Amino acid sequence: MLFSYKTGQRFSRRILIWRNKHVSEHKLVLILSFIIGILSGLAAVLLKSTVHYTHQFLSTWFFHSGFNFSYLFLPLVGITLTVLYIKYFVKDDISHGVSKILYALSKNNGRIKSHNNYSSIVASTLTIGFGGSVGAEAPVVLTGASIGSNLGHYFRLNFKSVALLLACGTAGAIAGIFKAPIAGLVFAIEVLMLDLTLSSIVPLLISSVTGATVAYLLMGKGVVLTVLNTQPFALNNIPFYILLGLLCGLVSFYFTKTTLRVESYWHKFKSNTYRIITGGISLAVLVFLFPSLYGEGTSTLQTLLNGTIEGMPQDRIFSFFSSNEWLLLIYFALLLLLKVIAMAITNGSGGIGGIFGPALFVGGVTGYWFSRFINSLNYIELPLGNFALVGMAGLMAGVMHAPLTAIFLIAEITGGYSLFIPLMITATIAYITILSFTKYSIYTQRLAERGELLTHHKDEVVLTLMKLDSVIEKDFVTVNVDQSLGELVKAVSQSKRNIFPVLNEKQELVGIVLLDNIRQIMFQREHYDDTFVSDVMISPPEIVDVTDNMEVVMKKFKTSGVWNLPVMKDGKYFGFVSKSKIFNTYRDLLVQVSEY
């Protein structure tokens, strides 16, 4: 075993040496982007297939017509298996895939643990295949990003190249699972918030096209969701697309806030067993009452895109609501509201899945409900399928704060290119509407609250990447609060600094002495014995704690107006941080995040 490990290490070193001699970093990134596109596309196909065949297997054994009591235990079994797999095999948190990617970019130098190359696929298969009301997209996006990250670190590439390869994995995964190469490219730029240049687009294009090609080769050329009755865009429907955008923005706000609150509620339970049982049972009841909430809900969404309700699950509850037009509208309103809760319960109780699929589902239901409601007023006849399709874009734009991704994704996965104008109108209005309530997407809300969010602004990017530990200086000569002026002068002669931290016996910071403040008396020997450090010290205008992030540190520099601030750790003096050190580190990091 030891021999094989050493052999592998030597082989790896030989590859790195050969690469350094013969392949430039730019060419290597292009080659790796192609490889990443293949692997992320295969991961997307694998996840789609495992979820499909798991659901098909369970359907053969358990599902029957009418009330199906299998719904009461299958989601609970899926969540239980997922939690056990994570606890005993993965032993790491793999939930919220896109947020994990953003955190890796913001705080972990683009590094994602290697088990994410496969762990999310297995976990989400168990969750979704058994009826968890979540999407498969975020897990496979994390898988693709992990592949890119680990390949970049294997070849010892710098941060900007690793970040680009990570984005390539994301683009390839989105392109593969949706067969949407343009959406994969736009998602990597818009959602991951990378500040890329034109030359950086080429690797992303390679990965997106390659991932989509792999999906086409293995899964056929058909679009993900087929729109059979797309009607031409009518100019007189523009006011209704604007209203739909406003509604989608409001529903997006509900989607985001409800998800965060419901997940937080379940995370408060310290017992995994209690969390699994309560979450699994709650989800099972919802799915039992509303079978459309089972799994990703693709079949229900496909039915609404066709402008009918014939493909809806024909259970007794739906039969009751469909007997009356207004009752049917109530049913669809409940469906879009409960889908968000079912999704949040699935993730909060231990399941693994994303918000992509649920956002598309809720958007489609919202568009269908809106157009059916308008039609029931007998004022105008709106095309139900068109509005269901456009509603998908509106919800995605609002929830993800990514209108461009929403527009191109919906057009690509449905083939609805003739509706580009209403897609743009509704997505834009929905995005503007939700910005009135929150400036963060569902992916970035928690990271932003902790100051761990990477943004398009290079200054903020650098501050986010900068670690406080890397700029703390410890070569300051300390003095005791009870020492005399003579002893202070001796300390001055031994120091190259003009600031002296004053400590007590417990190494706690009492104050600081500035060289400028003692310059007038430091050569007056007659005061060496009757003047003490406590007489000449001052209190620091601000104190930095080692747990502060760099944004907080810079605010303290701004409010204090000084160039050096003391740093405390566990209540004791730890060192100083200076603006000059920060600026030097800033320049080095700026090179890493600048033009590729």
Same domain, 255 and 310: yes
Residue 6 domain flag: no
Domain end call among 188, 219, 250:
219
Domain of residue 485, CATH code: 3.10.580.10
pLDDT at 192 over 90: no
Distance from C-alpha of 390 to C-alpha of 105, rounded to nearest angstrom: 32
Residue 403 domain flag: yes
pLDDT at 596 over 50: no
Give pLDDT, residue 3.
47
Which domain does 214 fall in, by range? 21-70+80-219
Compare 352 and 200 and report the one with higher pLDDT: 352
Same domain, 444 and 510: no
3-state class (DSSP) for residue 389:
helix
Same domain, 425 and 306: yes
Q: Are 476 and 575 in contact (CB under 8 A)?
A: yes
Q: Tell me which of 121-130, 299-308, 354-363, 424-433 is least confident.
A: 299-308
Other CB atoms within a 10 A radius of the CB of residue 408 amount to: 25
Distance from C-alpha of 307 to C-alpha of 309, rounded to nearest angstrom: 7
Q: Of 569, 500, 570, 480, whose CA–CA distance to 540 is shortest?
A: 500
pLDDT at 454 over 60: no
pLDDT at 66 over 50: no
pLDDT tens digits, 5-39: 556 566 566 766 666 666 677 788 889 999 999 99
pLDDT tens digits, 519-548: 878 888 888 888 888 888 888 888 899 888
Give pLDDT, residue 310.
79
Residue 9 domain flag: no
pLDDT at 65 over 60: no
pLDDT (average), residues 65-73: 63
Q: Has this prediction a pTM greater than 0.85?
A: no
Distance from C-alpha of 10 to C-alpha of 16, rounded to nearest angstrom: 10
pLDDT (average), residues 218-244: 79
pLDDT at 572 over 70: yes
pLDDT (average), residues 575-586: 80
For the beta sheet containing 544-545, the strands, ordered from the edge strand earlier in sequence to the opposite edge, are 472-473, 572-578, 564-569, 544-545
Same domain, 280 and 209: no
Same domain, 85 and 176: yes
pLDDT (average), residues 75-89: 89
Number of separate domains in the chain: 3
pLDDT (average), residues 121-137: 88
Give pLDDT, residue 39.
95
Give pLDDT, residue 20.
65
Same domain, 450 and 489: no
Judged on CB neighbours under 10 Å (0-12, 13-18, 19+), 93 is exposed
Domain of residue 92, CATH code: 1.10.3080.10
Same domain, 194 and 53: yes
User: How sure is the predictor about 205, in pLDDT bands with cuts at 50, 70 and 90?
Assistant: very high
Distance from C-alpha of 232 to C-alpha of 247, rounded to nearest angstrom: 23
User: How sure is the predictor about 58, in pLDDT bands with cuts at 50, 70 and 90?
Assistant: confident
Percent with pLDDT over 90 in the chain: 27
Write the CA distances from 153 to 112, 132, 149, 173, integer angstroms. Answer: 10, 34, 6, 19
User: How sure is the predictor about 426, in pLDDT bands with cuts at 50, 70 and 90?
Assistant: very high
Give pLDDT, residue 433.
95
Compare 449 and 324 and report the one with higher pLDDT: 324
User: What would you measure as the largest C-alpha separation in the chain, in angstroms?
Assistant: 102
